[in-house]
């Protein structure tokens, strides 16, 4: 009876254990399947440290200061041609017409000389009469002295006895006659109105047969040997050109003049600075001279652009304006991968470049990438080195 009971309990235990075994097997199989299907996670490389920047090295160069300006051509000499005497216009030079050219000493206007020739003749006659009067008084004086001596009188005779007052009066009369003759001859010469310099006629105000009064306007003439151009300059431009520190008479500044087509038409030199500023614009004015402007095809009142050549700065670094920091500072990449801020001296600057002569050298790596808030010691990475690193890693992995 007991043996039969033990045999009946064993199959029931196996029935209860079998589901558990099946579940464990299924779980094991599923885990293996899932493990085989699992993909390896992508390994994210460490993020590099430092702000990525580009750098550049510069070589020193020479730069010459150029300043642009403009102005109109004006004659250095321009006068109103007037008459010093009165008279009727007898003749005129063919060159005495607007635009006519003449040389120094040419007779431009000839007034009728007849009245002045008569005046010269009268003055010559007066001079001869004065000379005769002087000779007569001198003879009387000499005779009076001889008479004094012939009568055996001793002592010195009086001036009145020797006819001295009359003799002095005759001498004064002779001098006056000589002066009158000189004036008459000068007036006669003034009937031929000559050009005081080589130039051109701007305008004329008289014609043949017209009567001209004293100081009457005959025309306007201008010299053509030298012309001037007034060039407006700001205070900053005057400083760039060092105009206030140099003697322009001894060291004039060279100027190139261009026309409306941007073609160089003349060269000149700045010879002086005007003493006053423009009351309306407060601009300074430098005055440049051009030799023989009419030979170069220029005309008075013609508009010209000017390019003024100033001082040449030697061994300076041309740094683009975008690379500079405020207060003349420059960001530089150091060998340790850090940012350094250098104080530089700007010798000259334009809208596009700062020209630095102190504070950096050829070995400095200047940071060209804009940094919003650069600080001393800031960690950096150079773009060229960052591009080389992935390639090196790939080679190492292979």
Tens of pLDDT, residues 113-146: 999 999 999 999 999 999 998 888 888 888 877 7
Cβ contact 365:56 at 8 Å: yes
CATH 3.90.870.10 fits 66-76+223-312, yes or no: no
Strands 253-258 and 329-333: unpaired
Task: Give the confidence band of 109 by pLDDT, cuts at 50, 70, 90.
Answer: very high
Q: What is the pTM (predicted TM-score) of this model?
A: 0.68
In this predicted model, which residue has the larger pLDDT, 175 or 158? 175
pLDDT surpasses 60 at 15:
yes
Confidence of residue 395 (pLDDT cuts 50, 70, 90): very low
With a CB cutoff of 8 Å and minimum separation 6, the contacts of 341 are 325, 329, 330, 331, 332, 374, 376
Q: What residue spans define the domains of the chain?
A: 1-38, 53-58+314-397, 66-76+223-312, 78-222
Average of per-residue pLDDT across 85-91: 96
53-58+314-397 classified as CATH 2.40.420.20 = yes
Q: Say whether 66-76+223-312 and 53-58+314-397 share the same fold.
A: no
- Measured N-to-C along each axis, helices 114-150 and 164-189 cross at an angle, to the nearest 10 degrees, of 160
pLDDT on residue 385: 74
Is a pLDDT exceeding 90 seen at residue 389?
Answer: no
Bridge partners for 341 per DSSP: 331
């Amino acid at each position: 009876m007991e043996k039969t009971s033990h045999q009946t309990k064993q199959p029931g235990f196996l029935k209860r254990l079998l589901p558990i075994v099946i579940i464990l097997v299924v779980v094991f199989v599923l885990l293996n399947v899932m493990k085989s299907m699992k993909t390896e996670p992508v390994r994210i490389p460490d993020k590099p440290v430092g702000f990525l920047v580009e750098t550049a090295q510069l070589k020193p160069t020479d730069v010459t200061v150029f300043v642009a300006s403009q102005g109109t051509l004006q004659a250095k000499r321009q006068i109103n041609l007037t008459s010093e005497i009165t008279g009727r216009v007898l003749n005129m030079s063919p060159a005495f017409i607007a635009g006519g050219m003449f040389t120094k000493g040419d007779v431009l206007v000839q007034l009728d000389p007849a009245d002045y020739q008569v005046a010269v003749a009268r003055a010559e006659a007066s001079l001869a009469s004065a000379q005769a009067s002087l000779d007569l008084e001198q003879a009387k004086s000499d005779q009076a002295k001889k008479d004094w001596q012939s009568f055996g009188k001793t002592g010195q005779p009086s001036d009145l006895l020797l006819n001295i007052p009359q003799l002095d009066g005759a001498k004064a009369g002779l001098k006056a006659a000589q002066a009158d003759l000189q004036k008459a001859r000068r007036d006669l010469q003034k009937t031929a109105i000559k050009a005081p310099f080589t130039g051109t006629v701007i305008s004329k105000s008289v014609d043949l047969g017209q009567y001209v009064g004293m100081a009457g306007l005959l025309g306007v003439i201008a010299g053509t040997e030298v012309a001037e151009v007034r060039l407006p300059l700001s205070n900053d431009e005057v400083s760039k050109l060092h105009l206030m520190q140099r003697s322009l008479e001894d060291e004039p500044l060279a100027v190139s003049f261009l026309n409306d087509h941007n073609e160089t038409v003349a060269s000149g030199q700045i010879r002086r600075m005007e003493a006053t500023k423009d009351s309306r614009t407060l601009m300074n004015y430098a005055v440049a001279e051009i030799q023989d402007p009419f030979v170069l095809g220029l005309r008075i009142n013609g508009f010209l652009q000017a390019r003024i050549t100033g001082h040449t700065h030697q061994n300076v670094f041309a740094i683009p304006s975008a690379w500079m920091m405020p207060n003349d500072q420059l960001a530089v990449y150091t060998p340790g991968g850090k940012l350094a801020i250098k104080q530089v001296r700007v010798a000259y600057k334009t809208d596009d470049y700062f020209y630095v002569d102190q504070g950096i050298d050829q070995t400095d790596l200047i940071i060209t990438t804009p940094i919003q808030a650069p600080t001393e010691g800031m960690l950096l990475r150079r773009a060229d080195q960052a591009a080389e690193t992935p390639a090196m890693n790939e080679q190492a992995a292979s």
